[in-house]
Amino acid sequence: MKDTIAVWFSCGAASAVAAHETIRRYGSTHLVRIVNNPVAEEHEDNRRFLRDCERWLGVEIETAVNPDYPDAACQSVWERRRFMSSPNGAPCTLELKKRARQHWENENPCDWVVLGFTADEKHRHERFALMERETILPVLIEAGITKADCFRVLLDVGIELPHIYRLGFPNANCVGCVKATSPTYWNTVRQHFPDEFQKRAELSRDIGARLVRYKGHRIFLDELPPHVAGRPLKDTLSDVECGIFCATQGELKL
Q: What is the DSSP string of the chain?
A: ---EEEEEE-SSHHHHHHHHHHHHHHTTTSEEEEEE---TTB-THHHHHHHHHHHHHTSPPEE---TT-TT--HHHHHHHHT---BTTB-HHHIIIIIHHHHHHHHHS--SEEE----TT-HHHHHHHHHHT-S-B--HHHHTT--HHHHHHHHHHTTPPPPHHHHTT-SS--BTT-TT---HHHHHHHHHH-HHHHHHHHHHHHHHT---EEETTEEE-GGGS-TT---SPP--HHHHHHHHHHHS-GGG---
pLDDT at 243: 35
pLDDT at 234: 67
Report how far residue 49's alpha carbon sits from residue 55's, in angstroms, rounded to the nearest whole number. Answer: 10
pLDDT at 235: 52
Name the architecture of domain 4-238.
3-Layer(aba) Sandwich (3.40)
pLDDT at 48: 97
pLDDT at 237: 52
**Entry pTM:** 0.88
Q: Give the start-to-end residue ranges of the domains of the chain.
A: 4-238
Residuewise pLDDT in 10s, the chain (254 residues): 789 999 999 999 999 999 999 999 999 999 999 999 999 999 999 999 999 999 999 999 999 999 999 999 999 999 999 999 988 889 999 999 999 999 999 999 999 999 999 999 999 999 999 998 899 999 999 999 999 999 999 999 999 999 999 998 988 889 999 999 999 999 999 999 999 999 999 999 999 999 999 999 999 999 999 988 777 776 555 444 433 333 323 332 32
